[in-house]
Amino acid sequence: MADTFRKLLHYLRLVPRRRWLDILILFIGVLAPLFLFGELAEEVLEKEPFAIDRPILLFMQQHATPLLDRAMVFISEVGSIRVLGPCALLLAVYFIIRQHWARLVYWVLAFGGAILLNMGAKQLFSRTRPDLWISIAPETSYSFPSGHSMQSMAFITALVILAWHRPALRPWSVAGALFVVLVGLSRVYLGVHFPTDVLAGWTAALAWCTGLAFVLRRRLKVERKLGKAAKAGGPR
């Protein structure tokens, strides 16, 4: 047993540091979110209520103000497909013009795929929306998972992954994360989603975009290298 353990430790030391980073990213970005989504989905399918949903919704309703109403409606609208959709389309057009085909494929699959997955999940789980009060921004479709939360998370996650190789842009990921949180918060504040709907949307989109990045990472890496080589060999 001791000899086997020593061999295992020796093998683990031989694993490149880069591979350990890949494993950590896979765990944080794919496995953990999928596990959490699975736990939430199981309870929803079994029609089991979540202990956190009602208290959080009531807390939001009790602290509502006219100013917060306007702010949350605005944030919710910014996180909707009516705003994010055209933004995603503009970025896709940019990739086409620049002939960044790998980035285009990833972007379309990440954002578009998240929307399609959300539509399918809503029909599968058929969870009705909260009805604790009449919302100032009512919705009629199913509740689980939150579409706004899922598409905003997919938009920002995919954007961060595509821009991560540029250190100067990395600080903007904090602003992106704040935007995602605010969109999810707005949906709960408006009473059109349970907190667990929002959490499910976040985890599903994060797992989808991170997993997709791992599948396409070789193509993305080659395209970035070719872009750098083209810039280096350009006119001086």
Q: Mind telling me the catalytic residues?
A: 148, 193
- Neighbour-count burial for 201-234, b at 16+ CB within 10 Å, e otherwise: bbbbbbbbbbbbbeebeeebeebbeeeeeeeeee
92 closest CA partner among 83, 80, 81, 103:
103
Which tokens sit at 57?
A: 């919704």
Residue-by-residue DSSP string for 76-126 = HHHTSHHHHHHHHHHHHHHHHHHT-HHHHHHHIIIIIHHHHHHHHHHHHH-
- Neighbour-count burial for 92-118, b at 16+ CB within 10 Å, e otherwise: beebeeeebebbbbbbbbbbebbbebb
Contact criterion met (CB below 8 Å) for 205 and 114: yes
